């Protein structure tokens, strides 16, 4: 079967698109359910430290066992309704039971993940770089959704992502191990330094520690050489997005905006086109 897919690019990339949509459907569950699970776990730990009785509230649903339900009426989502992309289209964006609108974010995450998977494998091919790139892409999509909703970048994702970057680069998948280690250290210290300088000058916290860890993880995957590009891209796009949202009235000046999605997007762009962008810049600057 694998040989057939590899011998036929249309079948290969079609299969990757379908696989990406399925992963995107799973990531929707992760984005929705991980924050309540973490909050419940934190609350339980705090009660245990304070010698309080266990939390009487029931634990939120897990991400594997419990079936998906309509958040409005509790209708159990049937298998055909849960088909990535097609389920939303067949239901015309409404719950089959109560007719409540289904958020467009669900098919958007599925489609985005599918397209990014195809682009990643198109760039690297069916190689260790391509397969590892799919893992990185999936985690970045999940972190983007979670940070957008909650302004949290959980250690459960960022720290394993960092260690995974160091591990794969012991085999020089994207860079050598030394560059990977320096990338992890430099990624953390860059935003840590900016954070403390901003706090000294303004008395406010400009970002969270999760941002430091995410950039450190990207440094571990890509190497320290690409950190300037990730920081530049995320800062420029983040600033433009913030100005646009404030100008349109959708973001108040004193309301924080999550920075993690911009770091994640910049990291993915750098993964795919980092060398090309860098070569183009150096060629036009010094050529």
Q: What is the residue-level pLDDT of the chain in tens, covering all 287 positions?
A: 556 666 677 788 899 999 999 999 999 999 999 998 888 888 888 878 887 887 777 677 777 767 777 777 777 788 777 889 988 888 888 888 788 888 899 999 999 999 999 999 999 999 999 999 999 999 999 999 999 999 999 999 999 999 999 999 999 999 999 999 999 999 999 999 988 888 888 777 777 889 999 999 999 999 999 999 999 999 998 888 877 777 777 777 767 788 999 999 999 999 999 989 888 776 666 55
Q: Do both 180 and 83 map to the same domain?
A: no
36 falls within a domain: yes
Count Cβ neighbours within 10 Å for each residue of 78-100 and write b for 16 or more, e otherwise. eeebbbbbebbeeeeeebbeeee
Q: Do both 52 and 163 map to the same domain?
A: no
Q: Do both 103 and 136 map to the same domain?
A: no
Count Cβ neighbours within 10 Å for each residue of 132-148 and write b for 16 or more, e otherwise. bbbebbbbbbbbbbbbe
Count of C-beta atoms within a 10 Å radius of residue 104? 10
In DSSP terms, which residues pair with 69 in a beta bridge? 76
232 falls within a domain: yes
198 falls within a domain: yes
* 3-state secondary structure at position 94: strand
List the domain range (segments joined by +) for residue 104: 1-111
Q: In angstroms, rounded to a whole number, what is the distance separating the alpha carbons of residues 154 and 265?
A: 17
120 falls within a domain: no
Count the domains in the chain. 2
Q: Do both 89 and 200 map to the same domain?
A: no
235 close to 211: Cβ distance less than 8 angstroms: no
What is the predicted pLDDT for the residue at 3? 67
What is the predicted pLDDT for the residue at 27? 96
Q: Do both 276 and 148 map to the same domain?
A: yes
- Tell me which DSSP letter residue 50 carries: T
Q: In angstroms, rounded to a whole number, what is the distance separating the alpha carbons of residues 63 and 35?
A: 11
What is the predicted pLDDT for the residue at 287? 55
Boundary of a domain, candidates 111, 143, 174: 111
Residue 131 vs residues 1, 124, 189, 257: alpha-carbon distances, Å: 17, 9, 29, 32
148 close to 154: Cβ distance less than 8 angstroms: no
Q: Do both 79 and 202 map to the same domain?
A: no
Residues, the chain: 287
118 falls within a domain: no
263 close to 251: Cβ distance less than 8 angstroms: no
Indicate the pTM of the whole model.
0.92
Boundary of a domain, candidates 111, 145, 180: 111
Q: In angstroms, rounded to a whole number, what is the distance separating the alpha carbons of residues 63 and 34?
A: 7
What is the predicted pLDDT for the residue at 283? 66
Q: Do both 96 and 169 map to the same domain?
A: no
37 falls within a domain: yes
Q: In angstroms, rounded to a whole number, what is the distance separating the alpha carbons of residues 143 and 259?
A: 11
Q: Do both 156 and 282 map to the same domain?
A: yes
32 burial level (CB within 10 Å; 0-12, 13-18, 19+): buried
What is the predicted pLDDT for the residue at 285? 61
Count of C-beta atoms within a 10 Å radius of residue 224? 20
Q: Do both 35 and 100 map to the same domain?
A: yes
Residue 262: which of 143, 123, 136, 104 has the closest Cα? 143
122 falls within a domain: no
What is the predicted pLDDT for the residue at 4? 66
Q: Do both 191 and 285 map to the same domain?
A: yes
Angle at 171 between CA 169 and CA 175, to 5 degrees: 40
116 falls within a domain: no
At 19, list the tokens: 């696989």
Boundary of a domain, candidates 111, 138, 165: 111
Q: How many CA atoms lie within 13 A of 151 on its CB side?
A: 7
Classify the C-alpha dihedral 150-154-156-160 as positive or negative.
Answer: positive
Residue 125: which of 18, 225, 16 has the closest Cα? 16
Q: Do both 106 and 142 map to the same domain?
A: no
Q: Do both 98 and 134 map to the same domain?
A: no
In DSSP terms, which residues pair with 94 in a beta bridge? 101
């Amino acid at each position: 079967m694998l040989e057939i897919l590899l011998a036929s690019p249309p079948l290969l990339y079609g299969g990757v698109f379908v696989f990406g949509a399925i992963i995107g459907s799973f990531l929707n569950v992760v984005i929705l359910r991980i924050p309540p699970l973490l909050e419940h776990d934190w609350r339980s730990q705090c009660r245990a430290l304070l010698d309080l009785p266990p939390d009487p509230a029931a634990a939120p649903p897990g991400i594997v066992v419990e079936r998906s339900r309509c958040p409005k009426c509790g209708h159990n989502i049937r298998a055909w309704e849960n088909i990535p992309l097609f389920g939303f289209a067949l239901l015309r964006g409404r719950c089959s039971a109560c007719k409540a609108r289904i958020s467009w974010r669900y098919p958007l995450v599925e489609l985005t993940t599918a397209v990014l998977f195809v682009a990643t494998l198109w760039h690297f091919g069916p190689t260790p770089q391509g397969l590892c790139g799919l893992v990185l892409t999936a985690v970045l999509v999940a972190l983007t959704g979670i940070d957008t909703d909650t302004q949290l970048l959980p250690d459960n994702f960022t720290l394993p992502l960092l260690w995974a970057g160091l591990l794969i680069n012991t085999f020089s998948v994207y860079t050598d191990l030394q560059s990977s280690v320096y990338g992890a250290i430099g990624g953390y210290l860059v935003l840590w330094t900016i954070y403390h300088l901003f706090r000294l000058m303004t008395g406010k916290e400009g970002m969270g520690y999760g941002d430091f860890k995410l950039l450190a993880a990207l440094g571990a995957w890509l190497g320290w050489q690409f950190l300037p590009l990730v920081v530049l891209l995320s800062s420029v796009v983040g600033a433009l997005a913030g100005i646009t949202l404030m100008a349109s009235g959708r973001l108040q000046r004193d309301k924080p905006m999550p920075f993690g999605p911009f770091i994640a997007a910049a990291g993915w762009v750098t993964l795919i086109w980092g060398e090309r962008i860098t070569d183009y810049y150096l060629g036009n600057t010094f050529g």
